[in-house]
Amino acid sequence: MAYDTLFTPIQLGSLSIPNRVIMAPLTRSRTPNSVPGTMQEAYYGQRAGAGLIISEATNISPTAKGYVYTPGIWTDEQEAGWKGVVDAVHAKGGRIALQLWHVGRVSHEMVQPDGQRPVAPSALKGEGAQCFVEFEDGTAGQHPTSTPRALETEEIPGIVDDYRQAAARAKRAGFDMVEVHAANAYLLNQFLATGTNKRTDQYGGSLENRARFPLEVVDAVVEVFGAGRVGIRLTPFIELFGLTDDEPEAMAFYLAEQLSKRGLAYLHLNEPNWIGGDITFPDGFREQMRERFNGSLIYCGNYDAERAETRINQNTTDAVAFGRPYIANPDLPERFRVNAPLTEPNHETFYGGNEKGYTDYPFMDNGYDRIG
């Protein structure tokens, strides 16, 4: 089968991309000091054939962190490390966005600076939620999250500024775009959802109030990059880490309209099937999102080339992001183009470790594309 539509160029805001095969953000937990290095340069450089690479989720500050070995963007060293990654991708003709991340309550004192409590919209523990910590013996593993403290109203502008400063560092590092991570039950998603946001100030209660903080973050990032270089990721209807929401569809529609007014480049909707089952959007949801958002729509979640081509031809999406297939197939777009078989990823090497299961997956010629 020929996938012609997947390989037509598209305009994402003010960025032109050559195809609609997007690399989804993938946490790989291979930066022990939170500074990207030569391994990350090789990994992302290998995948530069994507229409757009969206980086792994990147912590905007020390208190944004919930998983050890994940990268940051709050220090000069981290900024320089990411510049090396961006340069490697650009050298191969690729484009890359940095995903900006704050985990909120999905954390523990062992991960937080000075052993402080994680922060959240409300002091509600995520039942069943696990973060990733380093133990006293030097080993690392999953650990139940702790009960967060509720952010004081006067603290919220400071976190908005953390996003602004992270975006400024991303711009200096040369990223083509940034993506605001407001999905997967992390901090911004916690503010959006009724089950995790029990605030009584201007950031809680009504749908508009719950959306206020995420939209303030978007506005701050847009100040740095311009709306045409900013995207956002959402996961409507997700129930993860104890997060529940009574108004997911209404919130998604409201955000789409607000983001459209701001001229955002794209809206990235995640349909994760790794949480125990596919999320099913209600009938007409995709069509309603198309009507409400005038930028580009990207969907992600257990797609193959045929399903992606169909969605694009139905005009319910403009591009499709692929996650796990990109782990094991650095040349994924070319494999789709020639209908080549896909390599299956090794689940045991998804998180942590070294080059094994990271930069050693073969290209179609069974060779390896290495940098440096």
Give the mean model confidence (pLDDT) for residues 217-226: 98
Q: How far apart are the C-alpha atoms of 74 and 133, rounded to whole Å?
A: 20
347 contact partners, CB below 8 Å, separation of at least 6: none
- 367 domain-assigned: no
Residue 369 predicted with pLDDT over 60: no
Query: Is 369 a member of any domain?
Result: no
Distance in angstroms (rounded) separating the CA atoms of residues 206 and 209: 5
Tell me, yes or no, whether 184 lies in a domain. Answer: yes
Question: With 70 as the cut, is the pLDDT of residue 370 above it?
Answer: no
Per-residue confidence band for 266, with pLDDT thresholds at 50, 70 and 90: very high
pLDDT band at 203 (very low <50, low <70, confident <90, very high): very high
**What is the full DSSP assignment across 236-252?**
TT---TT---S-HHHHH
* H or E element that contains 179: strand 177-182
Residue 21 has pLDDT above 70, yes or no: yes
Is 186 designated active site?
yes
What's the confidence (pLDDT) of residue 372? 31
User: 60: helix, coil or strand?
Assistant: coil
Which structural domain range is residue 316 located in? 5-349
pLDDT at 320: 97
Residue 360 lies in a domain: no
Q: Among the options 43, 69, 186, 254, which is catalytic?
A: 186
- The pLDDT value recorded for residue 276 is 44
For residue 59, the cross-strand partners are: 72, 101
Q: What is the pLDDT of residue 140?
A: 87
Computed over every residue of the chain, the mean pLDDT equals 94
Number of domains making up the chain: 1
Task: State the helix-helix crossing angle for 156-173 and 76-91, rounded to 10 degrees.
Answer: 40
Asked if the model's pLDDT at residue 195 lies above 90, the reply is yes
* CATH number of residue 287's parent domain: 3.20.20.70
Q: Is 353:54 a contact under the CB 8 Å cutoff?
A: no
Alpha carbon distance 65, 56 (integer Å): 13
Look at residue 372 and tell me if it is in a domain: no
DSSP string, 98-159: EEEE--TTS--TTTSGGGPPPEESSS---TT-EEEEE-TTS-EEEEEPPPPEEPPGGGHHHH
What is the C-alpha separation between 99 and 176, in angstroms, rounded? 11
Bridge partners, residue 131, by sequence: 143
Residue 363 lies in a domain: no
Q: Confirm whether pTM is higher than 0.75.
A: yes
Contact 309, 6 (CB under 8 A): yes
Closest by CA position to 7, among listed 359, 16, 18: 18
